[in-house]
Structure 1
């Protein structure tokens, strides 16, 4: 992953956050809130499908209407591969795996499918470095 890839992802408009539920104490909630404050459209994806941060929620990436630019993979590393495969199937342009979420095989599958990949990086930190 290069700085160009990170910059491209930060410029994308629609971010689906897998693992985004209604618990404000979770890191995914903070990251989604920050991206929303920065003008991004956020899409909560969580098994309960609840509304989060004023946005309608969906139970899976397959249920999300419209295009998804970036899928934030806020699941433990052992579940990242499944989310990446769902992102590929949903036609996402990119996947972002935050700090401590690492799955090299899933990242390679995403790249092979034409998606940009950022792994083991924090969107808020990368935003602050570039903006």
Structure 2
């Protein structure tokens, strides 16, 4: 069962540092762009993933085609995809042993969530970290730089 528990959400958001944001958009009015910018402003490293934009720069980061192309491990995969497009990414996250899969508001894939949880991953579904960070009173994280 994907977590909605405020304590678990807080633990996730205070422990992660690097996020792969799947479905990143260069369009500034898109929620994925706004969330990426917000998360960066709060000290998280956000690596954009979008096959259409692969190789380009987005908010100072190189865009990758998929999470298997990432040059380093990430703490969390955040999905801004239509639910029917999430299975492949969930399976890649399981294979890569990414600890946390976070599905945005409206991104609901119960079967995919169950597969990930069976594989030992933590799943958050139908929530937005941009909303949860202020709700939880989480201060900006130190990037360690």
TM range (shorter): over 0.9
> Which of 83, 89, 92 in structure 1 is aligned with 2:89?
83
- CA deviations on 1:7-54 (whole Å, 9 max, x unpaired) are 122120001000113111110110111000000001000002121101
Give 4+ residue runs of structure 1 displaced > 4 Å after superposition: none
Provide structure 2 residue ranges, at least 5 long, that are not aligned to the other structure.
Answer: 138-145
Query: In the alignment, is residue 59 of structure 1 matched against residue 65 of structure 2?
Result: yes
Structure number, greater radius of gyration: 2
The residue aligned with 1:6 is 9
- CA deviations on 1:47-97 (whole Å, 9 max, x unpaired) are 021211011111110010111101001000111222211111222110100
Aligned-residue RMSD, C-alpha: 1.1
The normalised TM-score by structure 1 is 0.95
> Which of 106, 123, 128 in structure 1 is aligned with 2:112?
106
Provide structure 1 residue ranges, at least 5 long, that are not aligned to the other structure.
Answer: none
* Higher RCO by CA contacts (8 Å cutoff, separation 6 or greater): 2
The normalised TM-score by structure 2 is 0.86
After TM superposition, the structure 1 stretch with the greater mean CA deviation from structure 2, 84-93 or 2-11, is 2-11
Aligned length: 131
